[in-house]
Amino acid sequence: MNFQKQEFIVLDNTAFEEFAARLVLTTSVSVVVDGLASALTQIRIGNITLSNIPAHDTLQLVGYNQFDGLLSVENIDIIGVISPQAVALQVKTKIINPSVVNLINGGQLLLDLCDIGTCTSVGLVNIDPFCLQPKGNDTIVNAEGILNMTEKNIVIVRELISNMISGIDSQVELRGTLEDNSTGTTIPLLSLAIAGLRIHTILPGFSGDKALVRELMVKKLTAAEIAGITIGLVKVLLVRIRIVNPFNASIIIQDLNIRADNGAKIDEGSQLGVVNDNRPLNISAHQEFVSHYINVTITAKLTTLVALIGPLLSGDAHLSLSGSITVTIGDDFVLNRLPVTVLNIKADQEHTDLE
C-alpha cells in the first residue's frame, strides 16, 4: 500500500504548539494515529471497496533535539559596516534533518548569537526563510547577521574578531529567545518551540585560503648580510608581508606591533625579532596585497639566527607571529590594539624585485 503526502489540518492550536515544541526540543515524540480508512481491494472476481476499517497505531517520530550538532556555521564573513559599533555578517549555515518531518515554510527565524562561556549576547543571526529538506538531505542557508559591540560585550566581540583573523574557532550558542525576551519566529505556532531553542555551534576562524597572512618575504640577502646575521652584526631584516583580506569589506591596518618567532608555533625561546610599524595598509574586500618593506628589529639569540639561515635560503622557513594590530573595518568600525596570533607562516627570500 502506498500513501501519498496528505495535508495535515490543525484543529487544536495549543496541542499542535506542544507537539512542535517536543519535536524541536527532544529526541523523539510519540504520535497516535486513530481513525477510519477505506480501501479498494482487487480480487479474482472484481474489486471490493472496504469501508470504515479501524486504523490505530502509535508512531515514534525522531525529534530535532534543539538542532544541537545538527545546525552548524560553515562560513562567516563581514560584509559591511552598519555603524561604529556594528558590522553586518553573512553566515552560511548547514542544517541536517534527522527526522522524517521537514519544514516547507518555517518563516523567519531570528537567533540570538551568544558567547558560550559568559552567555553574553553579541548579535543576531537571521535565517529567512527557515526551511528543512527531508531526512537525508542537508539544508544550506545563507543567513544574515549583525555583530553589535556594546560596553557590556566589547571584550567578547574583540575576542571573536581576533579569533577569526587568527584562524581560531570560537564556541558560540544560538538562542531562540532574544535579548529583549521576545521569541525569534514569525510563525506563531512555532513560538513555543523556538523560545526554548539553544544550539551550540562554532564560528570558524579564517584559515587555509581565507587566512589573513599568507607569506613573509625577506628582501634578498647578500653573502655579506648572511655572514653578518650569523655573527650578530645585522640588526634589521627588511620583510614584506603577503596579506589577503578575509572580509567582504575593506580594511585598513593602521599599525603593527608584532613579535616574530622562528618555527611553527609561538615560542619566546625562538624569538626572531619585533615589528613596530605605523604606516597604514589599505586593503580592499577580499584583495590580495603585498605590503611595503617593514623593519624587523632582530632580538634573536645567535643560535636562533643560525637555525633560521638554512631553511630561509632553501625556501623552507616558517615563522609565527603574535602581538596586536589596529584595524579599521569599512569606514568607521575601529579595533585598537586587537590581539592577533598567526602560526606557521611560510617565509622565503624574494626571488624577484617587487614594486
Identify whether residues 84 and 105 lie together within a single domain. Answer: yes
Cell numbers at 161, concatenated: 574578531
Based on the structure, what is the number of domains in the chain?
3
Mean pLDDT of 34-41: 85
Instruction: Enumerate the β-bridge partners of residue 239.
Output: 218, 294
The domain boundary residue, chosen from 205, 222, 245 = 205
Identify whether residues 104 and 175 lie together within a single domain. Answer: yes
Identify whether residues 326 and 342 lie together within a single domain. Answer: yes
230 has pLDDT over 80: no
Q: Quote the pLDDT of residue 1.
A: 57
Cell numbers at 295, concatenated: 623593519
pLDDT tens per residue across span 302-339: 889 889 889 998 889 999 999 999 999 998 999 999 99
Q: Quote the pLDDT of residue 278.
A: 95
Element (H, E) at 39: strand 28-43
Mean pLDDT of 84-90: 96
- Give the pLDDT band of residue 2 (cuts 50, 70, 90): low
pLDDT tens per residue across span 93-121: 999 988 888 888 888 999 999 999 898 99
- If you ran DSSP here, which 8-state letter would residue 355 be given? -
Taking phi over 0 as left and psi of -120 to 50 as alpha, with beta for the rest, 232 belongs to: left
DSSP state letters, 67-97: GTTTEEEEEEEEEEEEETTEEEEEEEEEEE-
Identify whether residues 171 and 218 lie together within a single domain. Answer: no
Report yes or no on 266 lying in a domain. Answer: yes
pTM listed for this prediction: 0.86
Q: Which domain holds residue 107?
A: 66-205
Identify whether residues 270 and 198 lie together within a single domain. Answer: no
355 has pLDDT over 50: no
Report yes or no on 114 lying in a domain. Answer: yes
- Give the pLDDT band of residue 352 (cuts 50, 70, 90): low
pLDDT tens per residue across span 238-294: 999 999 999 999 999 999 999 999 999 999 899 999 999 999 999 999 999 999 999
Identify whether residues 265 and 340 lie together within a single domain. Answer: yes
Identify whether residues 139 and 250 lie together within a single domain. Answer: no
pLDDT tens per residue across span 278-307: 999 999 999 999 999 999 999 999 889 889
Mean pLDDT of the chain: 91
